[in-house]
A = this chain, B = another copy of it.
Amino acid sequence: MKRNHITQQDIADKLKVSRITVSKALRNHPDISAGMKERIIKAVERMGYSPNLIAKQLSLQKTFTLGIVVPDLENCFFAYLVDSIIDTATEHNYHIILTVSREKEAFERNNIMNLIGMRVDGLLVCVSQQTSDQKVFKYARKMKIPLVFFDRAIKDLNFSYVAFNDKIATKEAINQLIAGGYTKIAHFAGFSSTSIGSERCAGYKEALISNGIPIREEWIIEGGYEIDDGIRAFEKLWATGKLPEIILAVNDRVASGAYKAIRKTGLKIPHDIGILGYGFSDTAHLFSPTLSIINQDPRKMGRIAANLLIDEIQGISQNSHTEILIEVDFQWNTSILKKQSILS
């Protein structure tokens, strides 16, 4: 009906040569003489030719496209992560088809099947919290489509994955706090049913135990992952009358809620109480005082995951089952007072 686009055939007709000659010239094939190449390139410019990548993909059986599935782009963490994946992909001349699962298994499955239909060269997936059926991933395996999980993985499928070492990082952070002279540390936890919640809580407990500090169950307050959960958690803590020196908040939104609730009581951060959260630099600096964090850099994760996938696609990485646990560092910002110089 429209037929707007110029094809190689059109150029060939104009120059009275074969379309293969045009194809070869555009790919700088040695078959074609310099003079002919120049004529063709000039015609291309003049006629406004845009190569049809769809046709190219079909012919080459390769799309130079990566498919991404994230649970939710409104989570800044994933936004930064996707941004960094796009950066890395672009560097290697890959395009990105982005899909969002909204934490729904059905959407996730649908997205993945669609991406496979689009014949992406590889998949980057952060599984939804709901996901239990492994069928679609087994299908990807059967079709030999390179797939890398990031942040959250289905472990027993032998796909590569990249994640933060939450437990170790938490343990180390608490160790540093204890070394700095703190002993009264509470935890505003998520839910022990989610991997994030349980891993972080486990690290917290292990650190206390290994330092001989008894675990006070009333200082582990489960609740959720939102601002209101942080508010409620602190109110609960405040009601007991006995405050810790430090609160470890399970993420930055809970930390934000804690800030609000603490401010309401008139207590001062960090002088009266310190806060440690999980997150990354940019959001931590939105807090005032700036939030100390167990630093989970989304850009780092995105870069590593994308590179891993591209390596697998290009067959550089023979091993298609690489597990990378990103080493986490800490940013001791102004939400915690340095008791001793150990916190550095």
Contacts and interface: CB of A to CB of B under 8 A. Distances in A.
Contacts of A52: 58, 117, 119
Contact of A50 (B50, B116, B282): B116
Contact of A118 (B79, B95, B139): B95
Nearest to A286: B256
Interface in A214-261: 227, 253, 256, 259-260
A35 to B, nearest CB: 27
Interface string A47-80: 0101111110110000101000000111010111
Contacts of A142: 4, 48
A341 B35 CA distance: 78
A118 B118 CA distance: 12
Interface in A93-142: 95-100, 113-114, 116-119, 139, 142
A203 to B, nearest CB: 26
A87 interface: yes
A82 B86 contact: no
B74 A79 contact: yes
A54 B95 contact: no
Contacts of A256: 286, 288
Given A95-B118, A143-B50, A100 B73 contact: no
A174 to B, nearest CB: 25
Nearest to A111: B90
B118 A53 contact: yes
A53 B117 contact: yes
A5 B53 CA distance: 20
A263 interface: yes
A118 B54 contact: yes
Given A53-B118, A260-B288, A97 B96 contact: yes
A99 B100 contact: no
A231 to B, nearest CB: 10
A144 interface: yes
B63 A86 contact: no
A16 interface: no
Contacts of A4: 142-145
Interface in A20-70: 48, 50-55, 57-58, 63, 65
B86 A100 contact: yes
